[in-house]
Amino acid sequence: MPGKTAYRNSLEAKQSEPDFWTNQEKAKGIIAQIKVANSLVKPFEELTAATTEIKAMAELAEEDASFEAEIEPVLSKAETQYEAFELQTMMSGKHDSATAIVSIKPGAGGTDACDWANILFRAYSRWAQRHGFDIPKDEIDLEPNLEAGIASVSFKIVGPYAYGYMQSEIGVHRLVRMSPFGSGDTRQTSFAAVDVLPELPDDIEIIIKDTDLEWQHFSTGGPGGQHQNKTQSGARCIHKPTGIRAESRVDKSQHKNKDNALKLLKARLYAIEEQKRIGDTVKAYDAKGEIAFGSQIRSYIMQPYTLVREEREGIDVKTPAINDVLDGDFDQFMHAFLRNKSAKQNKTKK
């Protein structure tokens, strides 16, 4: 940790230089790096201070038993701080500290699946808000479904280690409930796929041949009607060698949407190659080939009982508090994923 502290201090020293804001893009990048460094260094400093305080109080308690009651709340707070710091240190991946680019797409289940994708979008938005992350509204790429819910959505969760936490959500999510769009007397099972990519820094160069790309353009706007935007501003690029695609409709400019789609495609290709190199979580990408039964990483059951259950091997987490989870309380699932991933990595090293 002394190395991390020195790194943070060196960045803060640059911030104090008189010409710091001469290059605004570079300055913003340094500020972002300071936030990431502080997200690890500050909890360590707070934990170190708490340990010193507990040690001093314990020494006082040996002389005066009345101090014992005062140690309990301080110790409980320190245990919580330690747990949070432990999880932070588990996110040691190359881009775990990056902004998360999240995409949600409905699968089998018709209108229910589109509604389920929208429920997940709202749930992750609330999780982000709870943890102090930002979701830029002008970068939300949402395609509504005509009847209800959404046909797809892509958005960014901005903040230190957003990708590190959200990588636990990659895969197919299964919902079982009484359908609000049917007769109401039968259970409906629907699916949605969640994909999460790290936003790549500008210094990473990914070369894609123009001949390997197929571009498609489409109209964007509302769900239809005479006021629908008829201009072909939406852009979709397909990487022909792999079949991987990315699209953007967030801007009125086709040129900007092409840039956004290409950046997303590059991030997707880079992430897949990184996961293949690591050889651990590449299956999480492959599993989304069919967004249907048998491929889910987590089940959310509303009928005939309430239960959210992790389906991945090695992660034994379940809770009946489904309303809390869908209100953004994903922490126990994310934490269990990180511990399981860390245990696998440590086992591989041995």
Residues 58/64/65/68 CA torsion (nearest 10 deg): -30
Q: Are residues 185 and 310 in the same domain?
A: yes
Q: In whole angstroms, what is the distance from residue 161 CA to residue 92 CA?
A: 10
> Does 106 share its domain with 17?
no
**DSSP codes joined into one string, 84-130:** HHHHHHH--STTTTSPEEEEEEE-SSHHHHHHHHHHHHHHHHHHHHH
Q: What is the pLDDT of residues 21-71, one digit of tens each?
A: 888 777 777 777 677 677 667 777 778 888 888 888 888 888 877 777 888
* Radius of gyration for the alpha carbons in the chain, expressed in angstroms and rounded: 23
With beta carbons less than 8 A apart as the criterion, state whether 43 and 88 touch: yes
Structure tokens at 232: 């072909």
Query: Would 95 be classed as within a structural domain?
Result: no
pLDDT tens per residue across span 169-207 = 999 999 999 988 876 677 899 999 999 999 887 767 788
Task: Write out the two tokens for 229.
Answer: 């935007």
For residue 281, pLDDT over 80 is answered with: no
* Judgement on whether residues 195 and 58 belong to the same structural domain of the protein: no
What is the three-class DSSP state of 310? Answer: strand
Identify the CATH number of the domain in which residue 230 sits.
3.30.70.1660
One-character DSSP codes across 114-125: HHHHHHHHHHHH
Same-domain status, 73 and 126 = no
Sequence-separated (6 or more) residues with CB below 8 Å from residue 242: 269
- Kindly state whether residues 191 and 312 are assigned to the same domain: yes
215 and 269 assigned to the same domain: yes
| Angstrom distance (rounded) from CA 307 to CA 315 | 15
Q: pLDDT band for 287, please (50, 70, 90 cuts).
A: very low
For residue range 291-316, what is the model confidence (pLDDT) as tens digits? 666 679 999 999 889 999 999 999 99
Lowest-confidence range among 7-21, 84-98, 270-284? 270-284
Residue 113 clears pLDDT 90, i.e. is over it: yes
Residue 277: inside a domain: yes
Mean pLDDT (the chain) is 83
pLDDT at 288: 47
pLDDT digits (tens, 9 = 90+) for 205-254: 788 888 888 888 887 654 444 444 556 788 888 998 888 888 888 778 88
68 and 122 together in one domain:
no
Both 215 and 133 in one domain: the answer is yes
Domain that residue 209 falls in: 100-349
260 within a domain of the structure (yes/no): yes
Tokens describing residue 326: 């869908």
64 and 195 in a single domain? The answer is no
Average pLDDT over residues 75-79: 82
Q: What's the burial of 282, exposed, middle or buried (CB within 10 Å: 0-12/13-18/19+)?
A: middle
The residue count for the chain = 350
128-to-7, 99, 159, 171, 198 alpha-carbon distances in Å: 27, 12, 9, 19, 15
My answer on whether 162 and 303 are in the same domain is yes
End-to-end Cα distance, the chain: 23
